[in-house]
Structure 1
Amino acid sequence: MSQFASRRLPPVPEEAASFRERMRNLRHLGRLLAQIWRTSRFLTAASIGLRLVAAVQPVAMLYVGKLIIDEVVRLSGSPAPGSTLAEWWASGSLNTIAVLLLIELGLVIGSDLLSRLTGLADSVLGELHSNTVSVELMAHAARLDLRHFESAEYQDRLERARRQAAGRNALLSQIFGQAQDIITVITLGAGLFVYAPWLIALLPLSFVPAIWGETRFNTLAYYLSRGRTPERRELEYIRHVGASAETAKEIKLFGLGGFLINRFRTLAQTIFVENRRIAIQRAGWGALFAAIATLTYYGAYGYIVWRTITGAFSIGDLAFLSGSFLRLNGLFQRILLGFTSIAGQSLYLDDLFSFFEIEPTIVPPAHPKPFPQPIRRGVEFENVGFRYPDTDTWAIRNLSFTLAAGETLALVGENGAGKTTIVKLMTRLYDPDEGRITVDGVDLRDMLIEDIHAHIGVIFQDFIRYSLTARENIGVGRIELQDDMDRIKAAAEQSLADGVIAKLPLGYEQPLGRLFNKGRDLSGGEWQKIAIARAYMRDAELIILDEPTAALDAKAEAEVFARFKSLAAGKTAVIISHRFSTVRMADRILVLENGAILESGSHQDLVALGGRYAELFDLQAAGYR
């Protein structure tokens, strides 16, 4: 059995959450209602107003029905004014019953209209609210630090929040429906109390057991779902890898289809077994509690029938009381089950709102200083040390160097030497744990993050291939200028992407990728030229290219960097590359090892030194001989 198959899911808690914990989670309902109100005040008010009117409709229907029955009984016991409808109508005997029937008809039509209008308001409000939550979720995620996105725990929390952003819309109708049912219960209870007060005492017997069951199983289902978040994310990952255009070639060539299917089936079956166990228990207990509720209702119904036989109640009273008790029984169960359901839903709301409570650790300064424009002296690392979160190993330590203004600096070293970590710190995606990083003497921590990013153009090796048009793929380099075609075309020309775009049927308006209709995919090298154009689109003071030509052949790489060298004149640049044909074009090279500078100098200096750089250069050069 594989390691994956032998893994066990987190145990389902046998005890429900404490009452205090469930009540504490209800605080999120206030935040939800405020969020709904922000979404649309008009639709929120309309939904509440319609439900207030609909809340008194059931007792009105029952009471009008009672009056109709009593009037029918009275008329049937009175002398007939004639044998035809015309004679009855002419006598005026049917006036009262006709008015009552018209009132009942109006109530029925009004009930249907209210229901449809309420459903319409809730449907539109629910969709708007889903969009509002999704926007707020993306906005908050954009505020957070890179450290959050590189954390598995954060990814679990983000996944739970995403599910709740799209899955809590039914809660809107549920909360408003609860208020409507409470008003209806009050009106029905008042009528029932007038005739037979003690019948109300039977109601708890019918719904309290069901409430206990629902509370328990709602909570168990939540904690099982929460504990399964990593497994659910893995399921989605396997589902994506097993059926996506990006992985299709390798899946077929390596014959991985069966492996992925078995892995998916094993995990899905384990989750299914846990869900089935709770579903079976819930169904069994639910049937028992439903039987108790039914017996309670028929006991009360039998008492009302007996009192009617003895003459204490009229036939209309019988209809009104039995109908009221039946509705009250159902409403009480619905209210309390709804309350426990809302309490259970509030546990899921905690997944959403607790995500909004995550605060970024890289915060703007109280009195920010502007990013130097242009850079006159350079960027300086002063005894910088950094460890990634939840690790004890220093990625870099006691690192000091200066990137002079207008200089092109190359970073060389094996994987894990600290090259990309330097870029993350230089762009303030992370803050150093020790030392400081300055631009013209100003600490990066004294600048606004947005200002830093606006003046630095970065292209990583794992750049995003946006399923957007070619124009938009370049325009994201400076999003506020995405409609500036002159600038976009200039950036494409500088990165040699213009030749790629010229071959596309729709040119700059050609959708890229195969995700959507009419999309055209590009080769790795073509995509890389599009990505490099984003850096030129930015026209930043500091340009950073992290393995920018990894997907290019030697000829294309030479063309790109010859162009880059001429265009970067007067700008400050950092290049990370494993190809020494690229590195040797830099003004200065830093050779990194274990987060420290091992060697520093120009290509000629380092080759003459005969150290680590020379060794790596000779190894790579030997591959071309």
Structure 2
Amino acid sequence: MGRRRISGKRKGVFNPDDATRIKHTRLGVWDLYEEKAPEVEHVPGVSYWERYLEIRRDLPYVWTMLKDVGSIRSCWSLLFCYATIEAFTSLLPAANLWLKGQMIKIVQVAVDTRSVDKLFLTQITIGLTAVELLLRISFYSKTSISRPLSARIKQFYSGHLFHANARLDVPTFDDAAIQRQLEAASNVQGTSVAWSTLKNVFTLLAVILQVTSQASVLWQVLKDQPDGPLLAFLSVAYSLSEIFTWTGQASRGVWAATTRSDDFIRLQGLKRLVVDATHRKEFVSGNLAQYTLSTFRELASRLGEHASDFREVYREHLQLERLSIWSLARLPFGDLPQIVFAIRAVQQPATIPVTVASLNLITHTSMSFSHQIYQVFQQTGTIADSVASVRKLYEVLELPNKIEDGTIPFPEDAQKLKEGVTLEFKNVSFKYPGTNTYALQNVSFKLLAGQLCVIVGVNGSGKSTILKLIVRLYDPEDGQILLDGHDIETLKLNDLRQAISVLFQDYTHFPLSIRDNIGLGDPAHANDDDRIRLAAKLGGSEEIINRLPNGLDTYLDRPVKDHYSDLPEGTKTLFGRPVDYSGVRGFGEMSASTSTGLSGGQMQRLAVSRTFMRSVVSDDSQVGLLLFDEPSASLDPTAEHDLFARLRELRGSKTMLFSSHRFGNLTRHADLILYMDNAQVQETGTHEELLKRQGEYARIWGLQAQAFL
């Protein structure tokens, strides 16, 4: 409850400094800024018409959703059963109300004739019990049907969303607006958007049926009773006003809050410093306990009662706002049914028993009945939100990628890839999205087929960016990148990336087994253990894998967490994994990520093995260009030397581009060295040529060489 408008796209901006549209309230150390409701929102019915228009616009997407749901196995039959039970359940409150109305007739007959029809009373009692039993059975039946129905629909749309996410390129996926759209299209409190929408539609129809049937029965029961319709109207009207007033106050529209109190901000920072485990070593070794304690007490003393969390002061603020002139003026109306009853009792004392029974029936029914009436209006907004979510669910498949696909197949002759490819940069400049600083500026170089190029330079000089542009994670702002003479922006993306094997400096490990982490280097042979083991051997991770208890089946980061309640302190392991007591806060909490205990160098060897799986293990590999971005950054000198030796032996005649901040090993064997600094290529040549030039490359080479003298 409490939605005031559809949580969809809004025009304009929220500007806290705009006093004409924003109301400012000071709550302790907090500043609350609330958007003033437009005058048009005070016109009855306007917001609901807006909702209906929103629903009408999005109906084509709902029709598509229904066709998709209909294609799921047995879904239509399950939906029919669910709708039937929902409709049957919505009629039971009316049956209950009718039976209670018959009780009033029994009271009236008893008053008039001083006798009670015991058989009829027994039947009514049995009927009331049967209604309660049917309600319980209906609830469990609906739950039993909704479980497989929800699971099938959720599974279907999981594939839909997986496809939507998988097709996005890097700059599109990194866009915050795209992330919000993907999140809105995913799940609603763990439930599929599609199933949530269907449930909301069924709920609305059921509520309408329930309200209609109950209103009809209530009228039939009370129309001949003394002041029965008047009592019903007063009780329901008061209950509705209570609900609408409460929800109107709970629905605050657009608002924002902030604190500008330096003392409060510093106080919260000290709290985090003390409780966050990541700071504990520095906290203890720096002997900070006494200083932070005295500072905390001083700040708390200055702030006094104002040092409160925003949620707490906001809740108190809302409670105070509920005490308004309107709320006070409405109080006497809550007693009107009793006043009418008292007047009727004075005028017609004989009708007291019947009126008492009617009043009791109305009192017990009015709140529930009023809530149902409100639900009809509220559910309209919920369905509008759900339908809007359905639109977003299908729109995510139509999101345009920022990296446009080319049209030219590559390569023209697959066999030539084994001999490498030519690569050329022509005056390439590039800035990362959201920055104004060049990552590359006017970079030009040419690498012939089968050559080895080593890019050296300090961190941040642009080495990694060159590799990212080659595989078109991003496109340059200016200049051209040519592969075998073709502008890479004209080549089919899938063909381009299939012809390149790349290992980035900021490599990642997939939340899968080691077998999958290596095997996915060449998806066509991801299930070939012999190839995987060979790649592990070439990448230097074979010995590491053999030492792990589960070998290739080891998960570097287990994607499914264990659940457990508070455990005896002596429990050190569970399900073969260590118990993390810092994550236990009661039943149902998740354990922390499982750690394999591998070092950075060992993890890097696994990443190198994945690259080898694609680039050198397969005889039928369609890779002609090998890109390595700092593959030895976490390796010791011996491991680095072994890696470089294998790279020289195994690359064959393929073209290789290698970036590093270390000089030596590969640089001595490079056909071309690019020395970069400040996003530009400062020097080019072979190792000997650059040493003779006595430039910056030669100077840094000398510095690194002296470290080993």
- Specify the TM-score bucket, using the shorter chain as the normaliser: 0.7 to 0.9
> Judging changes above 3 Å, is the alpha-carbon distance between structure 1 residues 9 and 574 closer, same or farther for their aligned structure 2 residues?
farther
Which of 287, 291, 314 is matched with 1:278 structurally? 314
- Residue ranges of structure 2 left out of the alignment (5+ in a row): 1-28, 259-264, 562-575, 578-594, 616-622
Unaligned runs of 5+ in 1: 1-7, 81-87, 226-230
Q: What is the rounded CA distance, in whole Å, between the counterparts of 2:288 and 2:62 in structure 1?
A: 45
Distance 2:153 2:633 in 1: 44
Pairwise CA distance, 1:610: 1.9
Select 2:372's aligned residue among 323, 327, 331.
331
How many angstroms apart in 2 are the aligned matches of 1:181 and 1:115?
15
Q: Give a deviation string over 1:265-287, Cα, whole Å, max 9, x none.
A: 99xx9997322233223345568
Alignment coverage as a number of residue pairs: 591
Q: 1:254 to 1:545 in 2, by over 3 A?
A: farther
Aligned mates of 1:295, 1:168 — CA distance in 2: 46
Counterpart selection for 1:542 from 612, 615, 625: 625
The match for 2:476 is: 432
Describe the SS at the equivalent of 1:118. Answer: helix
Maintained 8 Å contact 2:97/2:218: no
> Any idea what SS the aligned residue of 1:592 has?
strand
Report what 2:651 is aligned to: 568
User: CA separation of 1:354/1:38 partners in 2, compared to 1, >3 Å: closer, same or farther?
Assistant: closer
Q: Distance in 1 between matches of 2:288 and 2:172?
A: 32
Q: Is 1:472 aligned to 2:509, yes or no? A: no
1:459 aligns with 2:542: no
Cα distance change on mapping 1:335 and 1:513 into 2, 3 Å: closer
CA RMSD of aligned residues (A): 4.8
Cα distance 1:165–1:605, how it changes in 2: closer, same or farther (>3 A)? farther
- Confirm or deny: 8 A CA contact 1:12 1:220 kept in the other structure: no
Name the CA distance, whole Å, in 1 between partners of 2:392 and 2:308.
22
For residues 282 and 340 of structure 1, the distance between their equivalents in structure 2, rounded to whole angstroms, comes to 23
Taking the aligned partners of 1:9 and 1:449, their CA distance within structure 2 comes to 51
Sequence identity (%): 24
Q: Quick check: 306-315 or 49-58, which moved more?
A: 306-315
Shift in Å, 1:615: 1.7
Could you say what secondary structure the match of 2:521 adopts? helix
Whether 1:378 and 2:402 are equivalent positions in the alignment is no
The residue aligned with 1:585 is 669
Asked if 1 retains the 8 angstrom alpha-carbon contact of 2:58 and 2:391, the reply is: no
Distance 1:260 1:558 in 2: 49
- CA 121–223 in structure 1, closer or farther in 2 if over 3 Å, else same: farther
Identify the residue that residue 211 of structure 1 maps to in structure 2: 244
Which shifted more, 41-50 or 130-139? Answer: 130-139
How far 1:249 sits from its partner (Å)?
7.5
Partner of 1:611: 695
The answer (yes or no) to whether the contact 2:234–2:337 under 8 Å persists in 1 is: no
1:150-229 to 2 correspondences below 5 Å: 166=190, 176-193=202-219, 195=223, 199-200=232-233, 203-204=236-237, 206-208=239-241, 210-211=243-244, 213-215=246-248, 217-220=250-253
CA distance in 1, matches of 2:440, 2:383: 50
1:124–1:569 distance in 2 versus 1, CA, 3 Å: same
Describe the SS at the equivalent of 2:309: helix
Counterparts in 2 of 1:60-209, with a 5 A limit?
60-71=95-106, 73-74=108-109, 94-122=118-146, 139-148=163-172, 166=190, 176-193=202-219, 195=223, 199-200=232-233, 203-204=236-237, 206-208=239-241
Name the CA distance, whole Å, in 2 between partners of 1:617 and 1:448: 40
Cα distance between partner residues in 2 of 1:33 and 1:282: 41
Cα separation, 1, equivalents of 2:335 and 2:93: 21
TM-score by length of 2: 0.69
Residue 593 of structure 1: how far off its partner (Å)? 2.9
- Residues 386 and 396 of structure 1 are in contact (CA less than 8 Å); yes or no, is this contact kept in structure 2? yes
- Note if contact 1:210-1:286 (Cα within 8 Å) is conserved in structure 2: no
| 1:72-118 residue CA offsets vs partner (Å, 9 max, x unmatched) | 653686587xxxxxxx9xxxx65544444443332221111112333
Q: How does 1:175-574 map to 2 (within 5 A)?
A: 176-193=202-219, 195=223, 199-200=232-233, 203-204=236-237, 206-208=239-241, 210-211=243-244, 213-215=246-248, 217-220=250-253, 242-243=276-277, 273-284=309-320, 296=333, 298-300=335-337, 302-303=339-340, 310=348, 321-336=362-377, 359-365=400-406, 367-371=407-411, 373=414, 374-375=416-417, 377-512=421-556, 517-518=576-577, 520-539=596-615, 540-574=623-657
Tell me by how many angstroms 1:563 deviates.
Answer: 0.5
Task: Verify the 8 A CA contact 1:379 1:404 in the aligned structure 2.
Answer: yes
The answer as to 2:80 corresponding to 1:59 is no
**Cα 1:349–1:284 shift into 2, 3 Å:** farther
Counterpart of 1:228 in structure 2 is none
> Does the CA-based 8 Å contact 1:63-1:320 persist in structure 2?
no
CA contact (8 A) 1:16 1:216 kept: no
Q: Is the 8 A contact 1:470 1:511 kept in 2?
A: yes
Contact 2:533 2:542 in 1 (8 A): yes
TM-score (ref. length: structure 1)? 0.77
Judging changes above 3 Å, is the alpha-carbon distance between structure 1 residues 323 and 301 closer, same or farther for their aligned structure 2 residues? farther
